[in-house]
Chain A
C-alpha cells in the first residue's frame, strides 16, 4: 500500500506530466497531420488540374467561356477573416442598413407619452409625421486575432449625427463554453433587447421595452456567458457596466453600476417546432435621473429620481416551421413580461424649488405578438401591448405638500396598444412594411390611430441572424 505522501507526489507528478504527455502526443499527431495536409494539398492540386483538362477536352468550344471555372488556389483551410474567406483579404465584413418611411398619426406626436410611467428619454413614440429617414446602420466586423473578434455598429441619425450603437470585442478561445464581451453592447436579457432595429418584426419596440428601457438597454461594460454542454440549450449570463442608460445613470463613482443576470433555455419540440424561454434580473442605481414633463399650465417642469431600480424580465419565443423553410411558411409567437420596483427619492422641480421626498413604485408591462409567414415573401403580424402603472407611493404627495399634478407623468393611467403589420420581402435583403396602430399609450381617452410605412434595405455582407 502506497503511503499518503507517495500518493500525493504521484498526483502532483501526474498533474505535471499529463499535459506534457499530451503535448508529445499532440506533436506527433500534428506532424503527421501536417504531412498528410501537404500530401493532400498536392493531391487536390493535381486533381484540380486533371479535372480542368477533362473539362477543357469535353466542353464544346462555344460553351468554354461559361463552363470553365477560374483556376483557383486550393486553400487547405478557410482564412480567419470570415466564413470561408468571404471577406476580401483582411477587410472586415461591411454591411449597411438603410431604413425610413412615412408616418401618419391622428394625434400630435409631440404629446405622445406613456401614461403613468416616468419617461425613459429613449427613442420612443411613433416618431414625426410625414416622410422620415430612419437610422442608417453601418456595421463592421472581423476577427482581431485567434483570441478576439470585434464589431462596431454606427447609427447615422436623421438629425445628421453619428451614434456608436454598439462597439465591442468578443472572445473566441475561452474554454468550457465561456464567452466574454466588452465595450458598448445591447444587454443579453430578454428576447428583443439584443435584436437590431432592422430585424424587428414591427416598426417599433413593444411599449414595455419603451417604458422600461427606453427601447433597448445598453451600457458600457462587460458580459460573461456560459453555455451548458447539454442537448438542451442552457445559457447563463452576467453583465455589469457603468449604467449609462435608462433606467440607470452614470454616477461619477469608481467601480460599476449594478448587475444583470440572465438565463435562457431552449430546444426543439419536433422537427417543425422550436422554442426558447428566459428570465433575467437587473439591479441598477440611478442618480438624479431627470425627466422633463409639462405641468398643468403647459410650462416645462423637470423632476428627478435617485435610488434603486430593479427589473425582472421573462421572455418566451416559439417558432413553427411546418416545411422546414422559414421563408415559405412560419409562425413565430413571442411574449415578454417585465416588472420593475423603484425605491429612492423623487425630486420636484429639480431646477427650481427642488423639493425631495421618498418614492416607491412597482410597475409592470407585457406584450404578445404573432407573425405568420403565409406565402413566400409575405408576412403578417399582430401585437398586443399592455402596461400596468401599478402602485406608486410619493411622500411629497401623501404628506399633502404637493398635489399629484406636480408629477404629471405619474398620473394614474392604463396604457395599451394593438398593432397589425404586413410586410413584403422581395429578397433576403429588402423589406417593405405597413403597420397600423390603435395606440392608447397616453393612458387618457385620446386614442392615436397611427399608420406607418417602412422600408429596410441591406447592402454589403450577408447578415446572419440570431434565433
Chain B
C-alpha cells in the first residue's frame, strides 16, 4: 500500500513537473503564421503547419492527420475572415479539443487585429466567392505581419505565462529586425511604384497597395471563378490599349491562363512565393519578402 502511494506520489510530481518543459503546441493554418509563431516562440513552441505554400488555403481537405494535430494543439493560429472556413471548423469540431474553440484563448485569428480591404458592399455570391469581412490574403503587407506579431505575442504570453518574458523579448527583437527590413524593402522597391500589373486572384491586393503597384486587372473574372475563354479575350482587348508591365502569379496558381495572356499582351509573368516555402528562397518571413521584391525587380530590369 505504502509503496503504491509512494509511487503514485512520484508519478504526480513528475506529471506536475512535465508541463513546465513541454513546448506549447501550435497549429498554424499557413506557413506564414507558422513562421511568425516560430520567430516569437523560438524553442518554447512546437509548430505544425496545416498547409503548404503550393496549396490554395481556401480549398483544403479536412484530412485525418490535421484533425489529429488539432486534438493536441494548445493554440490554433488562423487567418480568419472566412479564408479557412471550408475546413478549419471541421478540424476544431472533430478534434474534441476544448482549448482551441473559437472565442477562447486557444484560438487566434490574424484578421481580428487587422483592417481588411475590399470589404464587399453587397453580400451576393453572384459576385464570386467573396468574403463578407474583407480580403483575407493579408500576409503580403509586412506591416500587417508586424501587427499580428504583437497580438500573437500577447496571446502566447497569456497561454504560457511562465515564458511571457521570453516571448516579449523575442518579439521585440523580431520587430526591430522587421521594421529595418520594411525600410529596406520599401527603398529597394521604390521604382515599382505605379507600375501597372495584372494579378491572378485578388490575393495580391495587400502587396500591390503596400508597394504602390497599380493593379489594372485580375485574371479571375470574380473571386474563386476560373477565367473563361471569352473573358480572357476581353481582357486581351482591354489590356492592348495600355499593356501591363508584368503579370503576377502565385506559386500555387495554375500558370496556364497567365502564360496564355502573357503571350498576347507581351508582358512577362513572374511567379511569386505568396507564402513562406512558395519558392526555395522564401525560407522564412524575411526570405518571403526578399524573394518577392527580387523577383519583381528582376523582370523589370
Contact = CB atoms under 8 A, between A and B. Distances in A.
B115 interface: yes
Contacts of A176: 96
Given A14-B9, A377-B226, A464-B89, A225 B64 contact: no
B89 A172 contact: no
A403 interface: no
A326 B61 contact: yes
A86 B85 contact: yes
Contacts of B54: 323-324
A177 B90 CA distance: 15
22 contacts: A7-B2, A14-B12, A18-B16, A32-B158, A74-B112, A78-B102, A173-B98, A177-B95, A229-B71, A229-B72, A266-B68, A268-B65, A275-B64, A276-B64, A324-B52, A324-B55, A327-B59, A462-B85, A464-B85, A464-B86, A464-B89, A467-B63
Nearest to B87: A464
A462 B63 CA distance: 19
Contacts of A146: 101, 103
Interface in B69-83: 69, 71-72, 78, 80-82
A157 B51 CA distance: 40
A15 to B, nearest CB: 8
A33 to B, nearest CB: 4
B64 A465 contact: no
B159 to A, nearest CB: 9
Interface of B: 1-2, 5-6, 8-9, 12, 16, 51-52, 54-56, 59-65, 67-69, 71-72, 78, 80-82, 84-90, 93-98, 101-105, 107, 109, 111-113, 115-117, 119, 125, 128-129, 132-134, 143, 147, 150-151, 154, 157-158, 161, 164, 209, 224-226, 252, 254
B271 to A, nearest CB: 14
A274 B65 contact: yes
A466 B91 CA distance: 8
A57 interface: no
A434 B265 CA distance: 39
A227 B94 contact: yes
A445 B5 CA distance: 74
A267 B64 contact: yes
Nearest to A7: B5
A164 B126 CA distance: 30
Contacts of A463: 86
Interface stretch (A40-48, A197-205, A294-302): A40-48
Task: Please name the 4 residue pairs, one residue from A and one from B, whose CB atoms are nearest each other, closest first.
Answer: A266-B64, A233-B64, A324-B55, A33-B158
Nearest to B72: A229
A80 interface: yes
Interface stretch (A64-72, A100-108, A125-133, A415-423): A64-72
A352 interface: no
B222 to A, nearest CB: 9
B103 A429 contact: no
Nearest to A80: B103
B154 A37 contact: yes
B6 A7 contact: yes
Contacts of A266: 63-65, 67-68
Given A84-B133, A377-B226, A274 B71 contact: no
B80 A227 contact: no
Nearest to B136: A84
Contact of A4 (B5, B67, B143, B252): B5
Interface in A339-383: 376-377
Nearest to B135: A69
Contact of B96 (A7, A179, A327): A179
A327 B254 CA distance: 11
A67 to B, nearest CB: 7
B80 A225 contact: no
B181 to A, nearest CB: 19
A227 B61 CA distance: 19
Given A178-B96, A464-B86, A83 B61 contact: no
Given A37-B154, A427-B225, A227 B68 contact: yes
A175 B101 CA distance: 12
Contacts of B55: 324-325
A327 B252 CA distance: 12
Contacts of B143: 51
A36 B119 contact: no
Contact of A83 (B85, B157, B209): B85
Contacts of B51: 324
A225 B104 CA distance: 22
Given A8-B5, A36-B157, A464-B86, A84 B80 contact: yes
A226 B96 contact: yes
Given A327-B59, A427-B224, A44 B113 contact: yes
A79 interface: yes
B117 A326 contact: no
A227 B71 contact: yes
Contacts of B9: 7, 10-11, 14
